[in-house]
Amino acid sequence: MLYYLVRRILQAIPVLIGTTFLIYFMVFAMPGNPILGLFGDRAPNPALLERLEEQYQFNQPFIVQYLNYLGNVLQGNFGLSFSGQSVNEILARTFPVTLQLAAIAIVIEIVVALALGLISGLRPGGIVDYFSLGFSLLLISMPIFVLCFIAQFFFAVQLGWFSPTVGANTSIGNMLLPGIVLALFVIATPIRLARTSVMETSRSDFVRTAYSKGLSRRRVVPVHILRNSLIPVTTQFGSDFGLLIVGATVTEGIFNVPGVGNTLYQAIIRGERPTVVSFVTVMVLIYLIVNIVIDLLYAALDPRIRYAK
């Protein structure tokens, strides 16, 4: 297990170097003064310009610039935003909000996806199966912003069940609608996958053997079928986490949730490139960390991984 953990973290290192290099390359390997380029057609604030120059050290060769930047990222120093604020300060303020939103979305996602996947996998061709198939296909086809507007329009504006925007009040009740929307955005794949793996596990030899031992359905379904189906669903969750990040960015923006995603959203909309770059880097780091955690969870779920050397 320890061996697996160490190996997994070692594997993440080249990926971390690669991703940060790619981002850095995409932004700063462009012709012209990269700092002016960051500001596009706007006139930069001279004081900020100076501090940015200090931060990025553009007089150095490219590789030194990159290593500086990587060093900063590894120390948890993500630099400055467009307005000159430290990205770390913004993170400290916004991250808990995003965590709360993500938690709501993930809990809904897991519970609903497993429930629908389990029922439709146990009874393929049944009503629930057809409903969840149609439901998930429709959801896959909806871009996140359309989903947000539909929810905002019907549930907040028309029905008045929720407030259309969250603003400063980040209570659970207020965060519920964006949380549900975000969950719906990412839920289709886990539903389909849970269904497939429940179906396949139900047909597996060991499930039949479990019944032949005299076990009841009430025991076989959770202990053998569901437990085994969790493994592929968990793995997929890691690869799909990118979708959750993009979804959170747009959802927070549209519902005005004061989180990390909203900061990125506003920066994109306003074309504040230094902020965009810093926050995309933050998101990629989160993605990498979450994937390591998922892999550990996967090892915890699957003894074949846990006890493999």
Regarding 5 and contact with other proteins (CB under 8 A), the answer is: no
Nearest to 107 by CA among 119, 96, 115: 115
Over the window 157 to 176, marking each residue x when it contacts other proteins by CB under 8 A and - when it does not, the resulting string is x------x------------
Regarding 106 and contact with other proteins (CB under 8 A), the answer is: no
Regarding 40 and contact with other proteins (CB under 8 A), the answer is: yes
Check the CA dihedral 60-64-65-68 and report its sign.
Answer: negative
Q: How far is CA 303 from the centre of its chain?
A: 27
| Residue 237 · residue 296 · CB < 8 Å | no
Tell me whether residue 30 or residue 127 sits nearer to other proteins (CB atom).
30
Q: Which residues pair with 86 in a beta bridge?
A: 80
Q: Out of 106, 176, 215, 292, point to the residue binding other proteins (CB under 8 A).
A: 215
Regarding 46 and contact with other proteins (CB under 8 A), the answer is: no
Q: Which stretch binds other proteins (CB under 8 A): 81-89, 99-107, 169-177, 214-222?
A: 214-222
Tell me the CA distances in angstroms from 91 to 4, 80, 282, one per residue in order: 31, 11, 9
| Binding residues for other proteins restricted to 245-264, rule: CB under 8 A | 245-246, 249-250, 254
Regarding 193 and contact with other proteins (CB under 8 A), the answer is: no
Q: Out of 284, 295, 298, 299, point to the residue binding other proteins (CB under 8 A).
A: 284
Regarding 203 and contact with other proteins (CB under 8 A), the answer is: yes
- What is the nearest approach in angstroms of other proteins to the Cβ of residue 207? 8
Helix axes 87-122, 172-202, angle to 10 degrees: 40
Torsion-angle region of residue 143: left (phi > 0), alpha (psi -120 to 50) or beta? beta
62 is written with which tokens?
């490219």
Q: Out of 61, 125, 160, 303, point to the residue binding other proteins (CB under 8 A).
A: 303
Check the CA dihedral 305-228-185-256 and report its sign.
Answer: negative
Regarding 22 and contact with other proteins (CB under 8 A), the answer is: yes
Phi, psi of 300 (to 5 degrees): -65, -35
Rounded Cα distance between 270 and 13, Å, is: 33
- What is the nearest approach in angstroms of other proteins to the Cβ of residue 182? 14
Tell me whether residue 21 or residue 95 sits nearer to other proteins (CB atom).
21
Regarding 155 and contact with other proteins (CB under 8 A), the answer is: no
